Every structure is written in C-alpha cells, then in structure tokens.
Amino acid sequence: MIELRGVTKAFGTNAVLRGIDLRVDTHEVVALIGPSGSGKSTILKCINGLERVDGGQVVVDGIDLSQPGADLDRARRRVGIVFQSFNLFPHLCVLDNVTLAPRRVLGRGRAEAEKAASELLDRFGLSDKADDYPDRLSGGQQQRVAIVRALAMAPAVMLFDEVTSALDPELVGDVLEVIRELAVAGMTMLLATHEMGFAREIANRVCFLDGGLVVEEGPPEQMFTAPAQPRTQAFLQRVLAARRL
Amino acid sequence: MIAEVAVLALGLLVAVVRNLPGPALFPFRALATIYTDVFRGVPTLLLIFLFGFGIPALGLNRPWNKAIIWATVAIILNYGAYVAEVFRSGIRSVHPSQMAAARSLGLSQWQSFRFVIIPQAVRRVIPPLLNDFVALQKDTALVAAVGPIEALREAQTATAKHFNFTPYVVAAVLFLALTIPLARLTDWLTARQEAARQ
Ligand SMILES: Nc1ncnc2c1ncn2[C@@H]1O[C@H](COP(=O)(O)OP(=O)(O)OP(=O)(O)O)[C@@H](O)[C@H]1O
Ligand SMILES: [Mg+2]
C-alpha cells in the first residue's frame, strides 16, 4: 500500500531523512516512534505529497509520488492524514468540514455527502455536533471530527501524526478509541506517536526512527521488551524514565 | 455602487494572483505587483486627471470620449490596488496549516483558495475594507468635479483639445519613484517578520 525506498530529504543543510525504507501493507497498522525531530512528521508529509522528497521513491497505492509529473491530488484522495493540531476549517460547521472534500473533489451531491457524513459522525459519537462550529468543540471532539473528515474521502490508508499530543489527558482516550475501532475495521494505518502503550497495543509493527534512518523495526512485543539496537534501548529507557516522573 | 463591486472583484483577483505559488506563474505575480505599486503610488487626483482628460484626448469615439467614464475607471483602478493589498494581508493571515489541511484532503490549489483560504481572509478584512469604502465615497466627489472642469476646458481655445500628458506623467513618475521603494521595503520587512515567526 505504501512503500518508501531510500527516501532522502533535507531542509537546507539539515538532512532530516537519510535513506528511509518503510513498507505498510494493506490492513497493517504501523507505528513510527523516535525522538523529537527524528523526522516522523516529515515522513508522513512526504507520503501525501505535502513535502517533496529529494531522493528515493515514495509509492502510494501504485502511484509513484517522486516522479516529476505525479498526480499528487489523486494520490492524496487515497491517503487521509490527521494532524496534531486538528486543522479544522474554522469558518465551516462540523458537517460542512466533513462534506467539503467529498463534494468538491469527488463531485458528490450535497444530500448524498451529508448523508454519508452524518453516518460517520454518528458512528464516532458526534451526531449532535453536526451544526456546531469547531471553536465550540473540545480538543478531543475537534480531533475526532478531523478523523471523520479524512475518513469521508474513503481513503485506502490513514496517517496519524501525534494526534493526541495536543489534548488534555482525559480527552486522549476518546481519540485512541476511534483509532482502535478503525484498526478493528481493517483500516491500513501509519501512526507517528509518543504513546508507547498505545503503539504496543495497536500496531502490527513498530519502526524506531533516529538520525534520519529506520534504526530498527519489528513486532511490538519484541521492540518493547527486547530491542536489539542500543539506540532503541536507550530511547525506550528514556521514555520509561520520563513516564515514572 | 458599480464602482465598489468592481473594486472588490479587482482587488480580490489581484490579491489571489499575488499569492499563487510556483515559478511558472511568476509573470502573473509580477504583473499584479506592478499594478498595485503603480496604482497605489500615484495620487488619486492625478490618476483622475490623467485618465479623465488624457484618454478622451486620444480621439476615441462617443461615448468613450467622456471624461467622467475614464475618471471612474481611474478611481476603480486606484482603489482596486488598495483593496488588493488589504485582501493580500488577509490571505497571509490565514495559517499555512489550513492550506496543508485542504490540500491533504485532495482539494486543488485553486479549490483550497476558493473554499478555505479566501472565506477566512475575507472575514478578517471586513473592517479595514469598510474603512477604504468610506474613503472611496469621498473620492468619488473628485470624479464629479471632472465634469465642470471639462466644460470649462471646452469653452477655452482649440488648443484645449490637445491634452498635454507631459506634466501629469512626470508628476506620476516622481510619485512612483518615492512610493515603489517604500512598497518593496514593506514587503521585505513583512517577509522577514514571517520568517522570524516560523
Ligand atoms: N518546513 C520545514 N522547514 C525547515 N525545517 C523543517 C521543516 N519541517 C521540519 N523541519 C525540521 O526537520 C526535522 C524533523 O522534523 P519532524 O517534524 O519531521 O520531526 P518529528 O519526528 O515529527 O518530531 P516531533 O516528535 O517533535 O513531532 C526537525 O529538525 C525540524 O526542525
Ligand atoms: Mg512531528
């Protein structure tokens, strides 16, 4: 579904990605972990063409995004992304946030798009918020709307970029519950996360990223209990120590 | 009224053009920049005289030789440039993450402007726009003044038919020599501020 081969990317002199190889197969849930600044967000942005790569290949659902003439808009329709900061459209009510892309990009009629949106909002416990504007919602509700908005395009894969980092602790659970439900439904997902417990629970595979490379990857049990690489061990120890404080 | 609608449409168009990305569109951006610089830089009255008396003197057919028409055009172009700058600052005030969110849903560049960026920008610039329109109402009085002056000139000798562009053009160029560097400096300062904010 997603394949990165030897992807490199630099911002000026800052070489952020130095040859990333990464695969996400259909129905797979892959967690990206790694220290701040290791390039997790950058990888996700390269996968939906928000950032162009300098070298290597990014293939999404058969479309090679690294080709100069690649149809980025078509690829983006297949990939849903949810950001840490929600990024809902503040001038539109919840329902219009969700129906904008299906109507304008997929050419759905208003009635059809609103029916599909209502069903999705219902499924994630947001049906009573359809007419509210984003600033009336809690962070957790906003983030769930952002997930619904991405799902409304019926993407083949969902990318999540630390979607709970900006939330108050008591709101995190609701959002994780939504992702859990998507995993059960067989959605292909790639998530950058600091929530190690959640990564361990939900992911089929965990990739540890550091210094612009995938240092180690494997099933969650092995990654969290017996990582092979010293750098992975050090990182997990730091995370655990921070948790204890 | 018609002038106000024209001013809004023109201002929005120019502002959007100035915000389009990509090297392929550079000529359009440059054109839009030149337009705003020129028509903001020359005083309204001077533009009205240049257009109102200058263009009819080129020997156009009726009704296009009427001073009042060209004076109105002058004021539309003048205020269009002001309003374009107001819209442009409104567009810039919308956070880039909104564009990223729109594009990531599959909306094209143009659709993202149309449905996400511009509606938010317009809401933010309504107060300064109202301000500009108050000024526009006042300046339409200048257009009205063109009529009597034209009548006066026609009553004078035949030489009045030959409009002498030179003093007006020289004055306009002098004003531009002052205002264009100022406009560029403002852009540069804004860009620096934005870079520092990131
Ligand atoms: N648009 C940009 N311009 C310049 N540098 C950037 C840009 N985006 C990211 N970077 C740099 O790239 C590096 C990786 O950033 P990225 O956001 O991908 O890290 P991350 O792993 O997501 O970190 P975090 O866990 O803090 O979210 C950082 O050093 C960052 O400063
Ligand atoms: Mg990040």
Task: Give the pLDDT score at B198.
Answer: 59
Distance CA B57, CA B72 (A): 16
- The count of C-alpha atoms lying within 13 angstroms of the C-alpha of A243, restricted to the half-sphere facing its C-beta, is 10
Q: How far is B16 from chain A (nearest CA, A)?
A: 19
Distance CA A212, CA B136 (A): 56
Report the b/e string of A134-173 with b at 16+ CB within 10 A: beebebbbbbbbbbbbbbbbebbbbbbbbbbeebeeebbe
Distance CA B72, CA A223 (A): 73
With a CB cutoff of 8 Å and minimum separation 6, the contacts of B176 are: B37, B38, B41, B42
Looking at the CA of residue A51, tell me the nearest atom of ligand 1.
Answer: 1
Distance CA A220, CA A223 (A): 5
Task: Give the pLDDT score at B160.
Answer: 47
- CA atoms A107, A109, A110, A112: torsion sign: negative
At residue B114, does pLDDT exceed 70?
yes
For A120-159, the pLDDT digits (tens) are: 999 999 999 999 999 999 999 999 999 999 999 999 999 9
**C-beta of residue A3 within 8 angstroms of C-beta of residue A22:** yes
Task: Give the pLDDT score at B161.
Answer: 56
ipTM over 0.95: no
Distance CA A215, CA A204 (A): 17
With a CB cutoff of 8 Å and minimum separation 6, the contacts of B107 are: A100, A101, A104, A105, B115, B116
Task: Give the pLDDT score at B143.
Answer: 73
For A160-204, the pLDDT digits (tens) are: 999 988 888 888 988 999 999 999 999 999 999 988 989 999 999
Over residues B100-123, mean pLDDT = 94
Residue with token string 């870079």: B195
For B128-179, the pLDDT digits (tens) are: 888 888 777 777 777 777 766 766 666 554 444 566 777 777 777 777 777 7
Contact A89 B106 (CB under 8 A): no
At residue B58, does pLDDT exceed 70?
yes
Enclosing H/E stretch for A21:
strand A14-24
Confidence band of B46 (pLDDT split at 50, 70, 90):
confident
Distance CA A136, CA A78 (A): 30
Distance CA A59, CA A66 (A): 8
Mean pLDDT of chain B: 80
- Spell out the domain ranges in chain B: 2-197
Around Cβ A32, how many Cβ atoms within 10 Å?
27
Residue range B2-197, CATH number: 1.10.3720.10
Using a 10 angstrom Cβ sphere, with 0-12 exposed, 13-18 middle and 19 or more buried, the burial of residue B195 is exposed
| Residues near ligand 2 ion, CB 5 Å cutoff | A 41
Contact B105 A48 (CB under 8 A): no
Q: Which candidate, B3, B7, B11, B2, places its Cα nearest to that of B118?
A: B11
Q: What is the pTM of this model?
A: 0.83
For A38-53, the pLDDT digits (tens) are: 999 999 999 998 898 9
Distance CA B44, CA B41 (A): 9
Which one of A41, A48, A84, A91 makes the best mutation probe of the B interface by having the most chain B beta carbons within 10 Å?
A91
**C-beta of residue A87 within 8 angstroms of C-beta of residue A143:** no
What percentage of chain A carries pLDDT values higher than 70?
99
Task: Give the pLDDT score at B158.
Answer: 47
Nearest CA in chain B to A99: B105
